[in-house]
Amino acid sequence: MELDRLRRNIAKHIALSDSEFLHFASLVQRRRLQRRDRLLIPGEVCRFEGFVDAGCLRVYCTDPGGSDHILYFAPEDWWFADIQSFVSESPADLGIDALEPTEALLIDRASKERLYIEVPKFERLFRIMTQRALVALERRMIGAMAKSAEERYFDFKRRYPTLEDRIPQYHIAAYLGVRPECLSRLRRQITARES
């Protein structure tokens, strides 16, 4: 199984020997998804933590009124899970599904716990990765409180440079925290100003 992208991703955080990486590799499963395929349905238990090898997922929640809100996108090289559900084996609040044909690498909870015991270095890896995710989310949270929809739109483009023309705009709106109509109007204003 080709796992180069995963290996390079891990190498950004910690150094691993071949055998340590292979140990990890033996615990992950590849999962192929078509556009719109659902990897996690809200209410189910999230039995995996995953890494996107190709394609793109959205991690979202649906509010009582039926609107979706996207917590983050997971294009290639991103990790994802409903951590709350994964860790406590409780029903997920979040949903995860594919916005494009996607290949994800999944590890289940028991395997991950075993990994921590057998190769303690992975405890460090996941601590560092979780820390980075927390920092990123803190920035996003501050952006949501302090910035205008337009600034948040530019932040989105900076954060996901390749994504804008790969996915429908209503998903971008669901990430920004505005309605699709509002994003449409914002974009019109921006292009009007530029010309």
The residues of the shown chain that bind DNA, judged by CB under 7 A, are 65, 67, 148-150, 168-170, 177-188
170 binds, among DNA, its own copies, none (CB under 5 to 8 A by kind): DNA
Rounded CA separation 145/101 (Å) = 34
* Shortest distance (Å) from residue 44 CB to its own copies: 17
* Shortest distance (Å) from residue 128 CB to its own copies: 9
Applying CB under 8 A, the residues found at the interface with its own copies are 61, 63, 67, 69, 71, 83-84, 87, 93, 116, 120, 123-124, 126-127, 130-131, 133-135, 137-142, 144-147, 177
Positive/negative CA dihedral, 5, 6, 8, 13? positive
DSSP string, 54-99: ESEEEEEEE-TTS-EEEEEEEETT-EE--HHHHHHT-B-S-EEEES
Tokens of 135: 């920092």
| Residue 168 or 177 with smaller CB distance to its own copies | 177
182 binds, among its own copies, DNA, none (CB under 5 to 8 A by kind): DNA
What is the three-class DSSP state of 103? strand
